[in-house]
Every structure is written in C-alpha cells, then in structure tokens.
Amino acid sequence: MSSKLRIIVTGLVGLYPVGGVAWDYLQYVIGLAQLGHDVYYHEDTWSWPYHPLNKTYTSEGNYSAQYIRDFFNHYAPELLERWHYLHLHSTSFGMNQAEFDEVARTADVFLNVSGACIIPDNLSSRCVKIFLDTDPGYNQLMLSERFDWSENVERWCTQVAAHDQHFTYAENIYSTKCIIPKVDFEWKTTRMPVVMDLWEQVARVEPPQMEAWTTVMTWNAFKGKLVYKGVEYKSKGSEFEKVLSLPQHTSVPLKVAVGGVNAPLARLANAGWNVVDGPTVTLTPESYQKFIANSRGELSSAKHVYVAMSSGWFSCRSACYLAGARPVVVQDTGFTEVFPVGEGLLTFKTQEEAVAAIYNVEANYTLHAKTARDIAYEYFDSEKVLRNFIEKVNH
C-alpha cells in the first residue's frame, strides 16, 4: 500500500445523532485526515434513524444529515464535502451517489467501525475491508452462538466474515485471563483515537471544587439473553447496581446522564444521584464536550460482559474525559494490563474501592488532572493510535 491511502470510515452518527456517538466515529475521520490520508465518512445502516428531540425513530433523514454536516462544519470544515449519508439505502445526503461510487471504486481501505454499515457493492477488489469490533464479548458471542432472538443474525455473521481483517477493542483477547471466544478470526487489537487538539479547550480550564463527578450511559439491557457455556453475560445496568448507593458514601456530588429504556431513574434519584436525560444534555458534540468540561471527573461502571470476560476494553467516553484533563474512576475490565492506573486513571471492583479512588483524586486534584491528560496523549492520541492501526493493516 502507498503511504497516502483513500479510506472510507463508517459509523452510526446518522442513526444515533447525539454528541457521544458523533465523537466516537468522527474522530476516526479527522484523525486519519490529519495523518495525510484521503478520508471519507460513509453511513449506510439501512435503518430508521433515531430522532433525539422527538424521542422516536423516524423515516426522515434530514435531521441526521444536518447533524453530520454541522459536526464537520464546526470541527473539520476541510472535510465538509467528504461525507455520504445513505438514508434507508436509497437517499443520498452530502455527496451524491455517483460521487461516492467513484470513491468506493478507488478506495484502499473500507474501515467498518462497529461493523454497522453494509459493505458497498462497488468497492475495488484490492480494497481492504476491515471489521472493527467496538463491543467485544457481545459481538463474539453473537458470532459464536447466533442467538435466535437477534434479528437478521445470520446475515450479520455472513457480513462480518466478508471482511478481510478483524480488529477489536478487546485488548486482552490473547491473554489467558480473557475468555472471549475467537470464533476463527485473527483479531488485531486497537483502541479509540482521540484528536487531542479538539479537547485542548476543555483541558485548559479546571472545574470548580464542587462540580459533580459524572458519566453518560445507556442503561438498556440486551434484546435477549447473552448465554455462553451456561453463563449469562449482562449489560451495564447490572454492574451499575454495584455502585448505586455510592452517593450515600461520599461527600462529592454525583451526576449520571442516562439514556435508553427501562433505566430506574427514580431509584437512582432516591439513592442520591443527580439524574439527567442523557440524549438531551449531550445532544450535540458541543454540549457533550461542555458536559465533560463541567465535570470534576468520570465515575462509571462497565458492561458486565466486558468485566466478566476480562476483555481489556476501554471506553471511548472515558478516553475523552482523559483528553479533557478530567480524572477517570472506572470499573476494571482487565485494562490494567495495558494502561497505567493509580494516577489520573483509577479502577475499582467494589463500591468501597470507588469511594477510595474519588477521595484519592480529590486529595491531589491538580496532579491527577495533569496525569489524565498525559495518559490520553500517550495512549489515545489519534496520531499514535491511527498510525499504529495503519501499520497493523499493512502487516
């Protein structure tokens, strides 16, 4: 491959037009472009997009398209002509179909982040198609067990297999502690890229002493039971239960921005959490950054499947908190084998450990904030992460 690649990056920004999702996928586009590659964003999920203001799925594509356009206009105007949102596999927004077809025909890399998009028909035969697993454990169990409660599961498994290379956020996938099934794929490890200069403004201002520790989360249980070798692996809610009474054991305010269905909002509030609506308070990329900027740090559990399988997964959201010089206290998924912990980034397995970690940070906040930003530079800087990623693609 040449040093300058034509890369198509996919994502779910049109499907879920909220701040955190936009940062998850579009930092790939900006980061790869900053490395000098010829990069395009493409989205074709064949699904009705969610409209966060109306809180419903819609057959219209205009809101989603405008959302993507606004992101590039604000954060990367040089990429404003380089996105294609194919709504319901029929209506093009951004680039027209003929323009995108020409990009597909000449692409070197098709990077299917989260494996969410349909592989375009007219990709060049020499284009390397990459499936990037951002939900480790869940995806491998789906590939292994093919649960009949999952709609179109066979078609999805066939689509995953149609990629040339498979990457994962399960950084421990080859560790003896990790019990995620490999399902006959040769997994290469990678992690979330953060475009550090886009978080500099957040990092520059330390939050006031009594701001809340926060997180943004989707409570949802899976659509069915994730059972493997007789064990059920669960989503995030079951792990958050372990720290539910945390506000009663610490003097710092705690806030949770929750999205999804069946979240026990009243129970969270009764336990002392300041509960806000996730999609509303982090609606735009700007408001998502503002939410992090107004946070003292992040406190969060992880999905049970990530923890129980010792995946080594690390949250895209937590990487953004670190980039904004906000200390992070999160449940250990086995990533302590990969990242330095104890300063700026602290882990817990129990509620008592979470309380101790918060006190540890507050006792020397400036040091922990600086170390948080240093960790982001060392481990999540898009320049390093994506350069490493491209090297792995080539070998």
At 210-238, the pLDDT tens digits run 999 999 998 876 889 999 999 999 999 88
d(CA 331, CA 357): 11
Strands 128-133 and 91-94, sheet pairing: unpaired
Lowest mean pLDDT among 105-114, 274-283, 324-333: 274-283
∠ CA 265-271-277, nearest 5°, is 30
Query: What is the pTM (predicted TM-score) of this model?
Result: 0.97
Question: pLDDT above 90 covers what percent of the chain?
Answer: 92
**At residue 118, does pLDDT exceed 90?**
yes
Sign of CA dihedral 260, 266, 267, 269: positive
**At residue 3, does pLDDT exceed 90?**
no
Question: pLDDT above 70 covers what percent of the chain?
Answer: 99
pLDDT digits (tens, 9 = 90+) for 344-367: 999 999 999 999 999 999 999 999
- Predicted local distance difference test score (pLDDT) of residue 68: 98
DSSP for 43-95, please give it. E---SPPEETTTTEE-S--HHHHHHHHHHHHHH-GGGTT-EEEEETTTEEEES
**DSSP symbol at 124:** -
- Predicted local distance difference test score (pLDDT) of residue 395: 86
The closest alpha carbon to 22, from 73, 94, 62, belongs to 73
**At residue 1, does pLDDT exceed 80?**
no
In whole numbers, what is the pLDDT of the chain averaged over residues?
A: 96
Residues 6+ apart with CB under 8 A from 125: none
- Predicted local distance difference test score (pLDDT) of residue 2: 63
Q: Taking residues 243-267, report their average pLDDT.
A: 92
- Predicted local distance difference test score (pLDDT) of residue 365: 97
- Predicted local distance difference test score (pLDDT) of residue 108: 97
Q: Taking residues 266-295, report their average pLDDT.
A: 95
- Predicted local distance difference test score (pLDDT) of residue 220: 76
Question: Could you tell me if 202 and 288 are in contact, meaning their C-beta atoms sit under 8 angstroms apart?
Answer: no
**At residue 254, does pLDDT exceed 90?**
yes
Q: Taking residues 77-97, report their average pLDDT.
A: 97
Q: How far is CA 168 from the centre of its chain?
A: 12
Sign of CA dihedral 143, 148, 150, 155: positive
- Predicted local distance difference test score (pLDDT) of residue 312: 98
**At residue 260, does pLDDT exceed 90?**
no
